Structure 1
Amino acid sequence: MLDNGFSRTAEHTKTRPAAHPRRHVRWTPLKAT
């Protein structure tokens, strides 16, 4: 699980999904309820 803070823009967060194609990252809106 990722939070809505710095982890969304970290370089590791952007490149990790490409290295692990079987895993999917789903981004949720900042104001999701």
Structure 2
Amino acid sequence: MTVEKKEEKPYDKCVLKRFLISGHKILYFETRQ
């Protein structure tokens, strides 16, 4: 996945942070099983 450099908006950063956090949680639970 490529990320194009655009005007960084607070909304985009918030969504990205949530996405990364949820992704880490999924990986964490999958590796725990």
Which has a greater percent of helix?
A: 2
User: TM over 0.5, yes or no?
Assistant: no
Q: Give the TM-score normalised by the residue count of structure 1.
A: 0.30
Larger Rg: 2
- Which structure has more relative contact order (CA 8 Å, sep 6+)? It is 1
